[in-house]
């Protein structure tokens, strides 16, 4: 019963969800969400991505979008345009995408991704890439469902 009530509350919350650019005052909430999901707090990383305290030229700022429900940040996306790395023409990259576990499978990841795809299209890009761990089944399933397929590159790694 309690479970059904909270599911109903969440469904209502999703209807009132807002996708928007982050504000400086969202920093702590974003760090907290990331820490909750990945188990690691990365304040400097997020300060940098949000363009706080550092002088990032406008053109090199990443696209950051947050999903908000009732004043609470429940999802974050970071998208970046990278040009001529690995000989690739300007390409969109999804470098962070995460949704609060309590709000998954309700279309929030899809809506955050749609914002990035629209932004990349508006900037004339022809493709978008991301990297997913082979063992990260949920994330792989999400991107596969969103039309992503295996790309033409292989990632090489060496232990140091």
Chain residues binding ligand COA by CB under 6 A are: 37-38, 96-99, 104-110, 138-139, 141-142, 145
Q: Output the six-digit token pair for 108.
A: 């929030």
Per-residue CA distances from 105 to 62, 82, 152 (Å): 26, 30, 29
Which is closer to ligand COA, CB of 117 or CB of 139?
A: 139
Outline where 57-98 has alpha helix (H).
Answer: none
Spatial separation of the C-alpha atoms in residues 105 and 115, rounded to whole Å: 18
Closest approach of ligand COA to the CB of residue 97, in Å: 5
Which is closer to ligand COA, CB of 91 or CB of 106?
A: 106
Closest approach of ligand COA to the CB of residue 55, in Å: 26
Closest approach of ligand COA to the CB of residue 105, in Å: 4
> Which residue's CB comes closest to ligand COA?
109
Closest approach of ligand COA to the CB of residue 160, in Å: 22
Residues 6 or more apart whose CB falls under 8 angstroms from that of 30 comprise: 22, 46, 50, 66, 73, 76
């Amino acid at each position: 019963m309690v479970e059904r009530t909270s599911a109903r509350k969440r469904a209502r919350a999703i209807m009132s969800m807002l996708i928007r650019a982050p504000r400086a005052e969202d920093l702590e909430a974003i760090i907290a969400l990331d820490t909750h999901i990945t188990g690691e707090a990365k304040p400097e990383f997020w300060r940098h991505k949000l363009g706080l305290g550092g002088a990032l030229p406008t053109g090199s700022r990443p696209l950051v979008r947050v999903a908000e429900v009732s004043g609470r940040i429940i999802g974050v996306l970071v998208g970046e345009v990278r040009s001529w790395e690995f000989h690739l023409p300007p390409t969109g990259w999804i470098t962070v995408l995460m949704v609060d576990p309590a709000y998954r499978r309700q279309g929030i990841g899809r809506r955050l991704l749609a914002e990035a795809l629209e932004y990349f299209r508006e900037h004339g890009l022809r493709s978008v890439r991301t990297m997913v761990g082979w063992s990260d089944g949920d994330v792989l399933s999400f991107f596969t469902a969103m039309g992503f397929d295996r790309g033409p590159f292989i990632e090489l790694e060496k232990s140091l």
